[in-house]
A = this chain, B = another copy of it.
Amino acid sequence: MRVLAKDIAKAIEGAGEVEVSGWVHRIRELGGITFVILRDRSGLLQLVLSGEDAPAGLAGEEAGAAALALTPESVITARGIPARNEKAVGGVELRVRSLEIISKAEGDLPFQVNGDITKVGLEAILDHRALSLRNPKIRGIFKVQATIIEAFSAYLRDQDFTEIKTSKLVGGGTEGGAELFEVEYFDKKVCLAQSPQIYKQIMVASGLERVFEVAPAYRAEKHDTPRHLNEYVSLDVEMGFIESEKDLIELERGLLSHIFAEVARKNAPELEQWNATVPDAAAVQRAPLIPYDEALKLANGEAAKSRGGGRIFDINPEAERLLCEWAHREQGIALVFVNEFPRRYRPFYAYPRGGPSEEAGEGVTSTMSFDALFRGLEITTGGRRQHDYHALLEVLPKFGLKEADIEGYRVFKYGCPPHGGFAIGCERLTQKILGLANVKEASLFPRDRKRITP
């Protein structure tokens, strides 16, 4: 019966032989004794391969890894007697009596797993996920990501949201055909969904009222930057019977607070490895909410201070960074909500700030939509949506669309509550929690213009 590295200390009391399995993390010869550091999913454990409890045939001159032809990263199973040793990891070691190589790691590894992984280039890390994840620091990224997904889902279920799974194969997009990947679907062409937007809305209208989805989303954007992925995990939320985007921002504050708290609770070692911290709930409550125009002024003011001027014309990456720096200085948290986005920056379904009556006239300048910026990066876009089918029809010409383009929205004619939602980019949130330089580091198998493997 296998015992995990983390549970070996408990096994000392049992006084019998125990079995461990895992990867050879490091091999050391010291004063004629061979030490192997074993790594399993729970942690590290020192194995002592020589000495009086050494495996048969490994005593004396023949002792050690060389005789066994042990190589780093091989998978082994060892049996032996656990004993206390203050100098060993976790204060415990296993005095090995028998050892079996289950899967020998061959040849030269492309990089050293047990070394300073920050010196290994991003391309090598991504090319060799089976190896790079063996480094505890790299693995930590995905431990944190798993917590984010779990906490996101748990918080929303607790607030009476229903988890949904919707199709990723859709007809032509209404939000910009150029950014869609085409799929050969039998004798038709369909596209990979950019977001579950319309489906979330249909589900609100269906009476579920509150839904969430965790699923891949696709953007055929050609630019390759540290903030873009062509395939990402979208944490999507949609909610009926809201008044404005402020209800959504309130929900996101609660959601982020819960995610941060869970990461702090479950991923303390990972946060420490990355020298990262997460904001507490009080700080998230203090994160400023700023209307778009004011945010733009603020960003320009900050730019003037930091680089002596230069105009910022929209909430671009520089503005995102400056606003977060400002919020951190003012409120102690690098999180900012920006609302009242101008009509021209938002999709046709964004709800006009002044309500439906405003839409018909000249007065519509802003919408009930928002972004959340965290540690210099947009992690969320959302807002209240237009739920009135006829009001939707009225704005279509402004967006170069016609009724046939929004067929999916016809269901609103069967009765649809006021609603809205948002999406959090899972990899971006992971990136910013841990302070990763590139969002691709937070994707197990990222896809960009050049990368389609592994």
Contact = CB atoms under 8 A, between A and B. Distances in A.
A93 to B, nearest CB: 20
Copies of chain A in the complex: 2
Interface in A103-139: 103-107, 109, 128-134, 139
A418 B209 CA distance: 45
Interface in A141-158: 142-143, 145-146, 149-150, 153, 157
A412 B163 contact: no
A40 interface: yes
B163 A452 contact: no
Interface stretch (A81-89, A186-194, A303-311): A186-194
A208 interface: yes
Interface in A357-375: none
B183 A162 contact: no
Contacts of A146: 162-164
Contact of A171 (B192, B210, B241, B453): B453
Contact of A445 (B102, B167, B185, B188): B167
A285 to B, nearest CB: 21
Interface string A208-220: 1110001110001
A145 B164 CA distance: 8
A186 to B, nearest CB: 5
Nearest to A220: B186
Interface string A367-391: 0000000000000000000011000
B215 A139 contact: no
A413 interface: yes
A449 interface: yes
Given A39-B207, A75-B415, A133-B206, A182 B184 contact: yes
A225 to B, nearest CB: 16
Contacts of A130: 202-203, 205-206, 411, 414, 416
From A21, A22, A41, residue with most partner B Cβ within 10 Å: A41
A23 interface: yes
From A168, A209, A414, residue with most partner B Cβ within 10 Å: A414
A325 interface: no
A269 interface: no
A231 interface: yes
Interface in A8-26: 21-24
A39 B415 CA distance: 12
From A40, A166, A426, residue with most partner B Cβ within 10 Å: A166
A222 interface: yes
A165 interface: yes
A181 B408 CA distance: 24
Given A131-B414, A165-B233, A169-B231, 16 more contacts: A21-B417, A23-B415, A40-B207, A42-B160, A129-B206, A132-B206, A142-B162, A146-B162, A166-B444, A167-B216, A167-B445, A167-B446, A169-B447, A181-B184, A186-B449, A215-B215
Lowest 5 CB-CB distances: which A-B pairs, in order?
A133-B206, A130-B411, A105-B415, A41-B209, A167-B445
11 contacts: A41-B209, A42-B160, A105-B413, A129-B206, A130-B206, A130-B411, A132-B206, A167-B231, A186-B222, A186-B449, A198-B454
